[in-house]
Amino acid sequence: MWEYEYSAETSVSPEALWNSWSNPELWIEWNDGIEKFELDGPFAVGTSFRMTVPGGDTVELRFVEIETGSLWVDVMTGDGFDVRTEHRLTALEDGRTRVTYRTEITGTAADSIGPEIGPEITADFPDVVNNLIAHAGR
């Protein structure tokens, strides 16, 4: 298994952050890692979507878990591996919100493919989280 996690804390409300997350058509406004985005249905478990990275490949993912207001998880399935990314909001005691992106690569090919593609997938997490916070805080 290969894994990576990035978190940031903000004064932006969980509701505002969730609004930016739960409206995938807005993702391209704040996620510089998306050049093109296609959604096959609502923001709901089972819906597939495709993202094209700037100058790069198109990946197909699906929503596998959603807890309204706090969590959504997508999965990309490859040959012998799954890339699972958890997007979580945690309310903190001081009124702030922790935003967490966590990726796990599992499966029979995870030990070989994880170190190869994991850093590519997660390299922009700090920028993506900061851009999400800025977008939601408007």
Give the pLDDT of residue 120. 92
Give the pLDDT of residue 55. 86
Average pLDDT value over all residues in the chain:
96
- pLDDT tens digits, 36-90: 999 999 999 999 999 998 888 999 999 999 999 999 999 999 999 999 999 999 9
Give the pLDDT of residue 111. 95
Of all residues in the chain, the percent with pLDDT exceeding 70 is: 100
Give the residue with greater pLDDT, 84 vs 26: 84
**Order of strands, sheet of 97-106, starting from the edge strand that comes earlier in the sequence:** 2-10, 97-106, 81-91, 71-78, 58-67, 48-52, 36-39
Distance CA 41, CA 44 (A): 8
Is 3.30.530.20 the CATH number for 2-136? yes
Q: Where are the domains of the chain?
A: 2-136
Entry pTM: 0.93
Based on DSSP, count helices (H) and strands (E) in the chain, helices before strands: 4, 7
Give the pLDDT of residue 118. 96
